Amino acid sequence: MATGPSRGVSRTVLPGGLRVVTEFLPAVRSVALGIWVGVGSRDEDENHAGATHYLEHLLFKGTERRTALDISAEMDAVGGEMNAFTAKEYTCYYARVLDVDLPLAVDVLSDMVTSSLITPKDVDAERNVVLEEIAMNEDDPSDTVHEAFTAKLFGDTPLGRPILGTTDSINAITREQIHEHYLDRYTPEHLVVAAAGNLDHDVVVELVRQAFGPTLKRTAEPAAPRLGGDQVGQPAGTGTTLVSRGIEQANLVLGCEALARTDDRRFALGVLNAAFGGGMSSRLFQEVREKRGLAYSVYSFAGQHADTGMWGIYVGCLPSKADEVLAICAEEITRVVDGGLSDAELDRGKGQVRGSIVLGLEDPSSRMSRLGKSELVYPALEPVDEVIAAIDAVSHDDVREVAEEILTKPKALAVVGPFDDASAFGV
């Protein structure tokens, strides 16, 4: 089943439910290719914590046709780039190559995804690599504070646990558990092959059909997009969590539960967030850094999942200034809830969100990501013009309503720094 081009976008569903979505970009000489898997860390139970990310590593270790060296060498030989990432709700294996080398990229990535060996030897060797990655993140206080905030907000749930797993879970997980996760989740109905660049859709479809071969013989429909989850109705965490570290800076994240990915109010929250803490002209940056010099890094952020989201403020400051900074943040939240944004702030917020979306789609890799993510977590691919129109339509009333709804919620605070007592930080 295929759908025809729409502004360069075409979609075909192969037997077994495998989806192939492409976008033709005539102005480039490259192609970005991604194989997207509808599984993320939030799909893990406690016995498989960290398995999704661990598996991402292992798929680069070899197949029946290629060793780990063969995989990297074949891509290096054509100047291609290849990597992968694991998120809360999906995993992606991607490559960018010259247009003439697209057949190689399809073959290599498809071979990895469908025919990984996952040998006990590789599992043991890669275990140390994953543990090193966890240690590296724990050595970065800005990463640690965001992980601590997420855990505080969503609790001991799959969404609240770290994508990488923990030292204990990685040490405990077995090859059999990882392989079980692979066989259960890496099936055609959960996969999307997305590509953008100088390509022909029919050619890509045929390359994918050949590369996936026997795996397409099963009968299945594409998995439905992820539009819900187990966080609905779950109370968000509040209060303070402290990770005591003997470092020179206090790292703070103050925030609350926010909007799901498909909530229509996300455009208003995006504009509000941009004006409030999204750039050098934002209120937070001006009040905390420019006027008072209390922090080098300060910003607000919003993140969405299928069934919930988060909004928060990050600040890195001197430990002695933490209380003052938190007080200013609280004051600014109250001020924007009570008074909304000025006309100039509303316009700047719209412009910032609009510009970041359009500029972010100026290369094949971002176009490819848009296609893959839309198939897995959105009801449909939203035309860029419609997204821009929704941003432009945000009004002062929309901003005030979303500020009243979201920013007034009870807050969670995560602190990483040289402190001994979490009770000193009231939220």
Catalytic residue numbers read 56
d(CA 60, CA 66): 10
C-alpha R_g of the chain? 23
C-alpha to C-alpha distances, 122 to 60, 82, 126, 131, nearest whole angstrom: 10, 20, 6, 14
Q: What are the tokens at 54?
A: 């661990």
d(CA 404, CA 312): 15
CA 164 to chain centre: 13
Rounded Cα distance, 10 and 3, in Å: 6
CA distance 254 to 327: 11
Contact 307, 260 (CB under 8 A): yes
Contact assessment for residue 60 and residue 71, using Cβ atoms and an 8 Å cutoff: yes
Beta-strand ranges (E) seen in 160-318 are 191-197, 239-244, 250-257, 295-304, 309-317
CA–CA gap between residue 283 and residue 20 (Å, rounded): 43
d(CA 276, CA 67): 50
* DSSP string computed for 64-102: SS-BHHHHHHHHHTTT-EEEEEE-SS-EEEEEEEEGGGH
Distance between CA atoms of 154 and 151, rounded to whole angstroms?
A: 5
Amino acid found at 69:
L
Contact 180, 150 (CB under 8 A): no
| Residue 82 · residue 75 · CB < 8 Å | yes
Q: Are 388 and 357 in contact (CB under 8 A)?
A: yes
Q: Which amino acid is at 24?
A: F
Residue (of 261, 246, 258) closest to 373 by Cα position: 261
